[in-house]
Every structure is written in structure tokens, then in C-alpha cells.
Chain A
């Protein structure tokens, strides 16, 4: 049981490049989400999904796309990277929304030059 896995662990991009951050969970959780963590700001929700084929925007969705074709996978795509997207990105999953425990992946540290 691997829990929530994320790849890559580190990534450096140039402005304007695109990339996909991968997230997978093996707990059969319906709810998955992406956060970014910036110093002094805690975690902010980018996008979330309540099940395969269903996604919605969070607090800071601009510049990011998501899709959920399977229960297990929830990739995050950066369309055209900008220095403001330099951050640590966390994927999380839980049984459903609300008071259920969220399980976090180890994070991806992204630097955009």
C-alpha cells in the first residue's frame, strides 16, 4: 500500500515551458486535490475532484489544468510556466469531502526560471 505518490520530486522549468505533475493513490479514494505551498501562506487549493470525470476549481486555478480519467490518477498540468508558479505542490486524497482525513503525497518542488 503506497498511499499517495507524486512524481517528480524536483523540477526546474524555463518560463513558457509546460509540464505535468503526476499524482496517484491506491486507497480507492473518491476525492483528490492539488495544493500549492508558499512561505507564510499555508496551503492553497488549486483544483479538486470528487470522482472520475469530475473536476472543479479551487482558490488559485489560473495557469493549471487537471483531468481525472481514473479513480487512481489526478495529474496537474502547467500550461505555460511562469516564475510565480515556483512553489511546492502537494497532492492529497480522502474517502470523500468534508471531515474525512486527507492523505498527502511527499510533494514536488518546482522552480520556474
Chain B
């Protein structure tokens, strides 16, 4: 079935470091891809999304490009801040799953001052 794989965490970085969180997917057809972020004690909120191949989603300095050839949607940020400490979830909207969402396991990011 459809699935999402993320790099295992936790990831610990110093402030202003470069961030990459890898995400790959398996899906039938052409899913839409998402990154959601969960700050401590809160629900998930959308960070960015891409709905077709080669689309780039971006928000708050974060970017991810929908790569159909490598079935990937890696999250990047050039300079992280302490306030970016959170859990990041990669997800897809799967037509074969009734267009419901399939989430990856999440990657915890800690940014140290």
C-alpha cells in the first residue's frame, strides 16, 4: 500500500545550521505531498505542500520539491532557528487510499542556541 518513509531522528542542530529532512514515498498514481509541523503540546499545522511533479512548496524559509523520478520530497531550510524546534511529518494524499492522508513517523528537530 501507499507509505511514507522519513529519516529517523532526533536531529540536533546549532542555530543557523542547514537543515535537510529526507522523505520518500510509495504511492499508486500521483499523490499530493505535504510537510506538517507539530510544536510541543500542539496539533499539527501545514508547513508546505506540492500537488504535482517538480512543484516546489515553500513557507517560513522552508522548501521542498516534489521529485517524481526519485519519489522524494525532502525538507530543507538554509538557517534554522531555536523556534524551529518541533516534530516534522511528511505526508501524502493517496487516491488509492480514498484520498485520505498517509503520514510518515515524524522527525524530531532540536535547535540549540
Contacts and interface: CB of A to CB of B under 8 A. Distances in A.
A76 B78 CA distance: 41
Interface of B: 4, 32, 41-46, 49, 51, 89, 93, 98-101, 103-106
Contact of B45 (A35, A48, A56, A104): A104
A44 to B, nearest CB: 8
A101 B43 contact: no
5 contacts: A42-B89, A42-B104, A42-B105, A99-B93, A107-B43
Interface in A40-91: 40-45, 48, 56, 58, 90
Interface SS majority for chain A: strand
Contact of A43 (B32, B42, B49, B103): B103
Contacts of A98: 32, 93, 99
Nearest to A97: B99
Contact of A56 (B41, B98, B106): B98
Contacts of B104: 42
A41 B49 contact: no
B101 A106 contact: no
